[in-house]
Amino acid sequence: MSLLALSALLPIVLGAAPVLEPAVLEQDEYAESFTFIADLDDGTYVQLQLAVTNLGPGSRTGACRALVVRAGKKPWTAGERFGAAEWRHTAGEAKERLEIGPCWAEAGEGLEVRTKLGKAEVRLRYPPQAAPVSPPSHTVAVRKREHRTWLLAPFSRVSARIALPGQEPLELAGGGYADHSRGNVAAGKLARRWLRFRGLRGSERVLLLARESLSGGFGPAWIWFEGTEPLSFERFAVKRAGKKKQSQWSASLAGGLEGEIVSISQLYRYAPVEELGALGWLVAPVVGSPVTYTLRAKLVVKGRAPVPGILEVSLLEE
């Protein structure tokens, strides 16, 4: 039995290794995030994120961010930063909890996350998960720095409660995903672009992650169909039509895998440095101007049925 298959059988044991504990590194470029995603059965997309970082004003800064995109409606998003004294991590025998301001995530009997930003409250709950999985080449080394990724809930069902200002609360369910990343490499030095695809709701579920380095090389680059081993491939190429909020994307996959990803509609464009406004000039020299496009898309791999899902393209924009 492979290590990946074995890890999928092991439950999360809180006493063994914390799942939600930030490492809090000293470098100015340090950033650590816990990202929770839901692609719900009615077409609603939810992304919740808790983070700790030294980027921007201050250090050991906590952050809470939420994004909800309902079909046919304007995206709702909010985010807030908190000082070092306003977040904490605790762990007991049966439960582990990361609190950042009024937002929190818990691991125990399953995973649960809540964001409360202004008058909006969004919750996602995942059933009990296997032990966190390290995908292929989960550590990216850049000189003496590194960026690591762990999958907390690679293929999962999820339930959601969404209460936004001026709207009736919603109770929904769908496909879920969660990961944990930690690094001390500036975004501008880590990658030229990232490609991520998550097919979470179809009859065949799949994850894909690929990175293009600044030198033009590729890696990690892998695709994982549920129930199989992850498969590495050699390279990808992206094409873009339109600019910013009107842009659509496609990607071709090659080298051990023949396939393409074609976007259908853009859900959201996230530009964190732009959102900092006048403060953005403090971090731009360190991280550049990273932008992530989130889109509904379709993955087509030779020999398999098309898979609908969510495409993310992350890159530096001038």
CATH code (residue 89): 2.40.370.10
Q: Which residue has the tokens 């719900």?
A: 40
CA 10 to chain centre: 23
Mean pLDDT calculated for residue range 171-195:
93
Mean per-residue pLDDT for 279-306? 77
Same domain, 98 and 166: yes
Q: For residue range 101-151, list pLDDT tens digits in order.
A: 999 999 998 999 999 999 999 999 999 987 788 887 788 988 889 999 999
Q: Are residues 283 and 308 in the same domain?
A: yes
Same domain as 160, residue 15 = yes
Residues 114 and 104: beta-carbon distance below 8 Å: yes
Same structural domain, 177 and 238: no
Distance from the first to the final alpha carbon of the chain: 47
Boundary-marking domain end, from 169, 185, 201: 185
Considering the domain architecture, whether residues 192 and 147 belong to the same structural domain is answered as no
Domain that holds residue 152: 1-185
Which DSSP helix (H) or strand (E) runs through 286?
helix 280-287
Q: Are residues 154 and 23 in the same domain?
A: yes
Alpha carbon 135 to its chain's center: 14
Q: Of 164, 223, 215, give the one whose Cα is nearest residue 198.
A: 223
Q: How many CA atoms, within 13 angstroms, populate the side-chain half-sphere of residue 249?
A: 30
Q: Are residues 142 and 204 in the same domain?
A: no
pLDDT interval class at 289 (50, 70, 90)? low
Q: How many domains does the chain have?
A: 2
Residue at which a domain ends, from 185, 202, 232 = 185
Q: What is the total residue count of the chain?
A: 318
Among 271, 209, 281, CA closest to 245:
271
| Measured distance CA(210)–CA(193) in Å, rounded | 9
Confidence class for position 57, pLDDT limits 50, 70, 90: confident
Express each pLDDT in 68-107 by its tens digit: 999 889 999 999 999 999 999 999 888 999 999 999 999 9
Greatest distance between any 2 Cα atoms in the chain: 54
Beta strands in 2-144, from DSSP E residues, in sequence order = 31-40, 45-53, 61-69, 76-82, 87-91, 96-100, 103-108, 110-117, 120-126, 139-142
Same domain, residue pair 143 and 204:
no
Q: Which tokens hold the place of 156?
A: 């999962």
> Are residues 19 and 158 located together in one domain of the fold?
yes
- Whole-angstrom CA distances from 179 to 48, 157, 318 are 11, 15, 28
Give pTM, 2 decimals: 0.91
Let me know whether 201 and 166 are in one domain.
no
Q: Are residues 198 and 143 in the same domain?
A: no
Task: Provide mean pLDDT across the span 299-304.
Answer: 94
| DSSP track, 154-207 | EEEEEEEEEE-TTS--EEEEEEEEEEEEEE-S-HHHH-SEEEEEEE-SSSS-EE
The Cα 211–Cα 224 span in angstroms is 15
Domain termination residue (choose one: 167, 185, 203): 185
Specify the pLDDT at position 161: 98
Question: Mean pLDDT in the chain?
Answer: 89
Beta bridge partners of 79: 65
Look up residue 100 and give its two tokens.
Answer: 């950042």
Find out whether 233 and 251 touch, Cβ atoms under 8 Å: no
Task: Give Cβ neighbours of residue 166 (< 8 Å, ≥ 6 apart).
Answer: none
Same domain for 82 and 175, yes or no, is yes
Residue 33's φ and ψ, nearest 5 degrees, are -140, 150
Q: What is the per-residue pLDDT for 274?
A: 64
Residue 15 has pLDDT above 80, yes or no: no
